[in-house]
Amino acid sequence: MKTIGLASDHAGYPLKEQVKEWLTARGYEYKDFGTYSTDSCDYPQFGHALASAVENGECPTGIAICGTGNGINMSVNHHKGIRGALCWQPEIAALARQHNDANIMVMPGRFIDAETAAKCVETFLNTEFEGGRHQRRIDAIPFE
């Protein structure tokens, strides 16, 4: 069983708690890299902790949440081994795996309902990368 890494800021914390319930109910293991309350905090700290864990293989997959998704997505994507994808619909979550081989799914906690978020999580965790032409494209993403 893969350990799913989780991270959020205060704005993403409520949805992260719901995602944890969803994962537990389906037998997934997870590691929560914080934050652990709705007290105001800075998303890079938690995004970087999760991204490091995905980069070093501790967690093959991660889910990150802030208010819009943008700040924590920018943070995780500063890591060379990370492809973070902002997802707010299951179809986008599917394409993030199929075309982008995303290893962190990012959601906008203040702009997505729990049911849609759960569908995004389910889709992201159960969709394979298609490879082929998409491999060439993701290989060209890192920029020196």
Which residues sit at the interface with ligand RB5, rule CB under 6 A?
9, 11, 43, 66-68, 70-71
> What's the rounded Cα separation, in Å, for the pair 54 and 61?
6
Residue 83: exposure state from Cβ atoms within 10 A (0-12, 13-18, ≥19): middle
Any idea which residues carry the catalytic annotation? Answer: 66, 99
CB of 131 to ligand RB5, least distance (A): 32
DSSP state of 100: T
Least distance from C-beta 70 to ligand RB5, angstroms?
Answer: 4
- Residue 110 or 134: which CB sits closer to ligand RB5? 110
Residue 9 Cβ, how far from ligand RB5 at the closest point, in Å? 5
Decide whether 30 or 43 has the Cβ nearer to ligand RB5: 43
Residue given tokens 């500063």 in the structure block: 78
